[in-house]
Amino acid sequence: MIKDEVDMQNKVLNNDLDQQRDENDRLSRQLKEEQLDTSNTNHRLVNTSNVSKNLSHESNTLNNSMQQILRRIDEISRDKLHNSKELNLVNSELERLSKADLVVSHSNIDLES
């Protein structure tokens, strides 16, 4: 009778032990999955950080290029203004010379007449 009870308790305990082992195995697998997920997340975070640094660097490069372009546009605008003033002076001189030539031509015609 006692032997049967002990056997029965042993069966129950073995059953419990098996269940605990199964649960332990399940939790171990779950932990490994979580560790793998954490590792993947860390890799993605590092990659994202690197991408962010690269984008920041590219942004700085583009900003520097934009500043150079704007300085060049300002320089070209100043040159254009200077050339326009020079052209106006040349046109004024040409107009003055044309008027003077016209006066000389009229004088020559008057002298010939």
The whole-number average pLDDT for the span 65-90 is 98
DSSP state of 113: -
Q: Quick one: tokens of 10? A: 């042993």
Q: What is the pLDDT of residue 105?
A: 77
Number of C-beta neighbours around residue 9 at 10 A: 10
Binned at pLDDT 50, 70 and 90, residue 106 comes out as: confident
Q: What is the pLDDT of residue 64?
A: 98
- Whole-number CA gyration radius for the chain: 48
Residue whose structure tokens are 């082992």? 21
How far is residue 42's CA from residue 39's CA, in Å, rounded to a whole number?
5
Residues 6+ apart with CB under 8 A from 31: none
Is the pLDDT confidence value at 104 over 80?
no
The whole-number average pLDDT for the span 67-71 is 98
The whole-number average pLDDT for the span 36-44 is 97
Q: What is the pLDDT of residue 102?
A: 80
